[in-house]
A and B are shown apart, each in its own frame.
Chain A
Amino acid sequence: MATLQIRQALGRALREEMIRDPGVFLMGEEVAHYNGAYKVSQGLLDEFGDDRVVDTPISEGGFSGLGIGAAMAGMRPVIEFMTWNFSLVAYDQLINGAAKIYQMSAGQYHVPIVFRGPNGIAENLGSQHNTAVDSIYAHFPGLKVVTYCDAHDACGLLKSAIRDDNPVIFLENEMTYGLKGELPDHEYLVPLGSAKVRRTGTDLTVISWGKQVFNAESAANQLEQDGISAEVIDLRSLRPLDHETIFKSVVKTGRCVILHEGYVFAGVGAEIAARVQEACFDWLQAPILRVTNRDVNQPYATGLEQLVVPSADRVVEAARRVLGLAVPADNRLDP
């Protein structure tokens, strides 16, 4: 076993895949000489040289498109966005390009590419550096969307993403790059499309992904104090979605809370709730509730910011509601 930070686990995945396949190369802003804005690519330039670890100008649309063309022509690029907020200037490349080329060409050109970088909520970064892009990429057929919460899955999922023969949106998180976890010494992969039951329970299912899984677990701990048994699922993939694990759990518990970053309106949670009610209507004992960012852009000041982002307390409250238990009188924050 090795104890690695998430950034190191991601770096290990990159390194292993670059050794394995000479077609894999890493490209993005500050990935080479600076060793990555968040040091995920530490040491890779020295090991692989600047043909395979490539610094770019600030040109997200330009280098995303370059990656897509290279993937069509037989390479396996990994494109790093310094954060996913900046992918919005490359959105056309990812949606009209990466997601659609395989089908537009009737299968003549596939696009094996990974776009990766930190996503979602950080701290005190204000409105433009806090976007959770999950739903705006998960919306489109042709893309896969993947995320992890711990170092083990970070490494195993990134390896699968790089080997996948389709474009993969790989969502990391700035706040957890330093979080340590245990990785086996031998090589392993975590398959895309498989959720993980992090904690088993019987009274309700809490579905989450990315770093919000930790809020789900902390809520489950609090609920346990009151004798409530929550099952916690880490989705790991938003597309493809592991329906089986979700439905099995909800059929068992009859109650479901979905927790994620980003917004409730047309968020991924809305999609999961819709699918759960279609498949598990007869087993549901209560409406499905969602805990997400409040419906407002991210403010800078710490006190305001804390009101916006999801928390374990809000998950506990939602859990008590779906269980029909007493909750604080009214919550003025939800419009």
Chain B
Amino acid sequence: MTAPVRHDHDVQPAPKDRLLLVKDPLAPVSTDDLLALHRKMMLLRRVEELAAKAYTQRKIRGFCHLYIGQESVAVGAAAATADDYWITSYRDHGHAMAKGTSPRAVMAELFGRSTGASGGQGGSMHIFDKSVRFMGGYGIVGGHVPLANGVAWAARARGEDRVCVCFFGDGAANQGAFFEALCLAALYKLPVVFICENNWYAMGTPLHRQSAITDMSLRARGVGMTREQLDGWDVEHVRQRVAAARQHALSGAGPVLLEIVTYRYRGHSMSDPAKYRPKGELAQQQKGRDPIQLTARRLQADHGITEQSLAQTKADVDAVAQDAWDFALHSPEPDPATLYDHVYAPQQTSLAADTDLGQTPSKNQDA
């Protein structure tokens, strides 16, 4: 071997901090765009409120993790990555709808109906929708993060101009799979945008009791990945920063870890009354920083939208969510005859010997 001796194998100064330097790349949203974002956030919230109601009526069973409070993250990210691949954790109802899955398909999945996004096979935690490149919700905390690298690998190998956006929680950022995924993504410079949704809690454990550092974006530093920590309450800001991360990742400069600070209004899941929160914390968040109220105020102050028109939007959204409920309720349960339909994929790829190996042309199949 005649490779030159490398000096970067020797003792190094502390790794440099790679902050995301791309400025906001998108033109500011138009009034119509902002209205659409606002409407989408309201829809996510309303569907979740109905999901909570359905859960208490035992129409939804099992685990059910609501996204209320965090809507600006998924909706802002979707506005920047509409055509890209997404993968996320079990808190996935909002992500699926933000990405384009219909509220009907989401609600029907929660109800365990055959018309659900995953045909009633997945449930609340496992919503999949290939038609909008939504590659699933996953129930093992951090376990799905390595998959994002492979999705990005395939997209890059095919020459697609797409990133994989991977969402996970602050708790997941303590998991081994997360760390391995970060290392590999940075090493291979994969077009992945990792989004850590820091909603202050992993189940009942607040951030400062799970991690010695509470700026989780710093996890990127030791692996040589570009990072940014940002506030998530403002959907426009999320849209711009995710777009910036996307641009960075697609340029070949490597993946980005965004830590988007947000807040979970409800308990971890429907069975958690969230009694561990300091008194007044939730009210403070809702009052000052609620993402939906924030856009509502902005629409009125800067875009001339009337309160009346916002009320109309609310009524429209309520109707769409109610329609999803009705649809789910009247959809059939999965047919028992389909139980084994999706254990193994039917073989589509040819198993016949057919390659010309430049040797003898005969074709054989040993039995």
Judge if B14 is at the interface, Cβ distance under 8 Å.
no
Q: Of the candidates A62, A68, A73, A74, which one forms a contact with B180 in the assembled complex, judged by CB atoms under 8 Å apart?
A: A62
User: How far apart are B57's CB and chain A's nearest CB, in angstroms?
Assistant: 25
A96 touches B140 (CB 8 A): yes
Contacts of A152 in B (CB 8 A): 366
Judge if A272 is at the interface, Cβ distance under 8 Å.
no
B360 touches A109 (CB 8 A): no
Count the A residues whose beta carbon is within 8 Å of the partner chain — how many?
59
B351 touches A188 (CB 8 A): no
Kindly specify which of B68-76, B240-248, B270-278, B342-350 makes contact with the partner chain: B342-350
Contacts of B343 in A (CB 8 A): 102-103, 141-142
A72 touches B135 (CB 8 A): yes
Judge if A332 is at the interface, Cβ distance under 8 Å.
no
Docked complex Cα distance between A163 and B342 (Å) = 18
Contact with A along B151-165 (1 / 0, CB 8 A): 111110110000010
A108 touches B147 (CB 8 A): no
Judge if A324 is at the interface, Cβ distance under 8 Å.
no
Q: Which B residues, 125 to 149, have Cβ-Cβ distances below 8 Å to chain A? A: 126, 128-130, 135-136, 138-140, 143-149
Task: State the majority secondary structure of interface residues on A.
Answer: mixed
Closest residue of A by beta carbon distance from B334 = A106
Docked complex Cα distance between A97 and B349 (Å) = 22
B154 touches A65 (CB 8 A): no
B147 touches A66 (CB 8 A): yes
Closest residue of A by beta carbon distance from B340 = A141
Contacts of A156 in B (CB 8 A): 366
Docked complex Cα distance between A75 and B158 (Å) = 9
Contacts of A184 in B (CB 8 A): 364
With A75-B153, A104-B136 given, is the CB distance from A189 to B146 under 8 Å?
no
Contacts of A112 in B (CB 8 A): 345, 349
Contacts of A163 in B (CB 8 A): 349-351
Judge if B212 is at the interface, Cβ distance under 8 Å.
no
A106 touches B128 (CB 8 A): yes
B146 touches A69 (CB 8 A): yes
Q: Of the candidates A74, A102, A108, A142, which one forms a contact with B154 in the assembled complex, judged by CB atoms under 8 Å apart?
A: A74
B342 touches A164 (CB 8 A): no
Docked complex Cα distance between A62 and B352 (Å) = 33
Closest residue of A by beta carbon distance from B114 = A106
Closest residue of A by beta carbon distance from B338 = A106
B355 touches A19 (CB 8 A): yes
Contacts of A278 in B (CB 8 A): none
Docked complex Cα distance between A103 and B343 (Å) = 6
Contacts of B357 in A (CB 8 A): 16, 185-187
Closest residue of B by beta carbon distance from A2 = B359
Contacts of A187 in B (CB 8 A): 353-355, 357, 363-364
Q: Of the candidates A19, A106, A160, which one forms a contact with B342 in the assembled complex, judged by CB atoms under 8 Å apart?
A: A106
A105 touches B136 (CB 8 A): yes
With A20-B355, A70-B157 given, name 14 new contacts (CB 8 A). A62-B149, A65-B144, A69-B87, A69-B164, A70-B153, A72-B135, A96-B143, A104-B126, A105-B122, A106-B120, A165-B348, A185-B360, A186-B361, A188-B366
- Interface, chain B (partner A; CB < 8 A): 85, 87, 118-122, 126, 128-130, 135-136, 138-140, 143-155, 157-158, 164, 176-177, 180-181, 183-184, 187, 341-355, 357, 359-367
- Interface, chain A (partner B; CB < 8 A): 16, 19-20, 25, 51, 56-57, 59, 61-75, 77, 92-93, 96-97, 101-112, 141-142, 144, 152, 156, 160, 163-166, 184-191, 194
